[in-house]
């Protein structure tokens, strides 16, 4: 069976986005700071970044594809990532608004799944071959997969900031059995890999 | 100036104690699990444990000395640690109920400070000489010192458990400037040292 991974950057107080998310500020107030480690220290964090983008298939929530608070998206919305998204693999987008697959450059195709997370998982397994499946976010989708016991490895990237409000990853996920298997970091982030068992 | 440190064990969802703290279960439901790393892996975590107990003076909140929800303590209450507490140094207990100093075996003396955190800090500085001062807890006291910008080094010991409720360390502490300076861990805990700047 494919390993199901989930990479998320969180603040030290557990938020994946700051308060007051808007279309202009999709990560909320202060939320951009979460990702400084990726942009300011790409070399020191190369392995962590590589881990985020080496899967054979991805699953993401509709907010991650279309933005927080967006209504039914415009039929020509093609995601946030330009014409060549960084996934280079099939991406299964959970949605209540089905539409035909959207083939981008470089191997990324967005497939829209309207019949639930188990269906998205089954389709991702078919697509991934021997490779990992990544739950790419956002927080609500990650929490849903964690609660359902589907995620095998949770990789937290803890940014040393306090957001003080926003969307929290772990509220309401219930008891999980977690074991840290690897810890490393820089001045802008601490990476912890957790094995999640049922 | 002495370095002011604060060691705290937190769950992955940020709680220093579980829900429903009682005199019988002072760490709340599931809270005992937080400290498995100390008791089950003393050798692997020897350095972290040493860091908790090497200071020249300690400051603690009254709940840590007397227990959560305790009223004015019985005048003969001598703390939780038996006749030879592990501090081997002066301990300044924040309280609204002053009482004479309590000299224990092995170098620990509890001093009761009724005039606030700055006074406790000044007295701890006098007592500590060149050594560190440790804010020993509980969560409320640690948060108060963090908010006041007094803590120089926050050492978090993150237990891989989800408590789902209880007392959270970082709620309401405001913005802090944190920089991780060291990260290590075992299968039961991840240790992160943060330099806190003002």
Contact A187 B176 (CB under 8 A): no
Instruction: Tell me whether residues B173 and A186 touch, CB distance under 8 A.
Output: no
Cα distance between residue B103 and residue B110, in whole Å = 6
Number of domains in chain B: 1
Q: Which residues contact B55 (CB under 8 A, 6 or more apart)?
A: B5, B89, B128, B131, B132, B133, B134
> How many CA atoms are closer than 13 Å to the CA of B72, on its beta-carbon side?
6
Contact at CB, B187 and A179, closer than 8 angstroms: yes
In a domain, A122, yes or no: no
Say what the pLDDT of residue A63 is. Answer: 84
Please report the pLDDT score of residue A80 as a whole number. Answer: 87
- For residue A172, the chain B residues in CB contact (below 8 A) are 164
A75 within domain boundaries? no
ipTM: 0.89
Residue B71's pLDDT is 63
pLDDT (tens digit per residue) in A58-96: 999 988 898 665 566 677 788 889 999 999 999 999 998
pLDDT recorded at residue B24:
83
Q: Please state the pTM of the whole predicted model.
A: 0.91
Phi, psi for A177 (deg, rounded to 5): -100, 110
pLDDT computed for residue B21 by the predictor: 86
Q: What is the CATH number of the domain that holds B55?
A: 3.40.430.10
A171 to each of A69, B15, B152, how far by Cα in Å?
20, 11, 29
Cβ contact, residue pair B162, A179, below 8 Å: no
Q: Which of helix, strand or coil describes residue B131?
A: coil
DSSP label at A33? Answer: G
Q: What is the mean pLDDT of residues A116-137?
A: 96
Query: Quick one: DSSP state of residue A29?
Result: T
pLDDT of residue B85 exceeding 70: yes
User: Residues of A at the B interface (Cβ-Cβ below 8 Å)?
Assistant: 12-14, 156, 158, 160-162, 164, 168, 170-176, 178-181, 183-187, 189-190, 192, 194
Mean pLDDT of all residues in B132-146: 93
CA pair distance B17, A198, nearest whole angstrom: 24
Q: What's the domain range around B165?
A: 4-82+127-197
Q: In chain A, which residues have their Cβ closer than 8 Å to the Cβ of B172?
A: 164
pLDDT per position as a tens digit, B27-80: 899 999 999 999 999 999 999 999 999 999 999 998 889 866 566 667 778 888
Q: Do B183 and A181 touch (CB under 8 A)?
A: no
Nearest residue in A to B186, CA atom: A180
Rounded to an integer, what distance in angstroms lies between the CA atom of residue A124 and that of residue A112?
12
Question: pLDDT (tens digit, 9 = 90+) per residue, A91-118?
Answer: 999 998 889 999 999 999 999 999 999 9
Whether A125 is covered by a domain: the verdict is no
First vs last Cα of chain B: how many Å apart? 15
Query: Is position B69 within any domain?
Result: yes
Q: Average pLDDT in the A152-165 region?
A: 96
Report, as an integer, the average pLDDT of A45-68: 91
Query: Quick check: is B101 in a domain?
Result: no
pLDDT averaged over every residue in chain B: 93
Is B162 part of any domain? yes
In a domain, residue A51? The reply is yes
Q: With 90 as the cut, is the pLDDT of residue A133 above it?
A: yes
Band of the pLDDT at B6, cuts 50, 70, 90?
very high
**What's residue B86's pLDDT?**
94
- Predicted local distance difference test score (pLDDT) of residue B25: 86
Whether B180 and A194 lie within 8 Å, measured CB to CB: no
Partner-chain residue, chosen from B13, B171, B183, that has the shortest CB–CB distance to A170: B13
Does B105 map to a domain? no
Give the span between the Cα atoms of A10 and A27, in whole angstroms. 11
Produce one character per residue of B120-129: b if its CB has 16 or more CB atoms within 10 Å, e if not: bbebbeebbe
């Amino acid at each position: 069976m494919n390993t199901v991974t989930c990479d998320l950057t969180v603040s030290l107080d557990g938020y994946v986005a700051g308060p007051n998310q808007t279309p202009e500020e999709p990560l909320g107030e202060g939320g951009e700071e979460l990702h400084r480690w990726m942009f300011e220290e790409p070399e020191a964090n190369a392995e962590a970044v590589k881990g985020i983008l080496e899967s054979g298939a991805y699953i993401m929530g509709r907010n991650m594809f279309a933005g927080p608070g967006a209504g039914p998206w415009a039929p020509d919305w093609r995601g946030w990532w330009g014409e060549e998204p960084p996934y280079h693999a099939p991406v299964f987008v959970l949605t209540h608004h089905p539409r035909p697959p959207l083939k981008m450059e470089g191997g990324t195709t967005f497939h829209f799944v309207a019949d639930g997370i188990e269906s998205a998982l089954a389709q991702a397994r078919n697509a991934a071959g021997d490779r990992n499946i990544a739950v790419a976010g956002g927080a609500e989708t990650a929490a849903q997969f964690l609660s359902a016991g589907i995620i095998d490895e949770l990789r937290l990237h803890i940014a040393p900031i306090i957001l003080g409000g926003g969307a929290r990853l772990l509220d309401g996920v219930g008891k999980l059995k977690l074991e840290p298997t690897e810890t490393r970091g820089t001045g802008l982030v601490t990476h912890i890999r957790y094995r999640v068992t049922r």
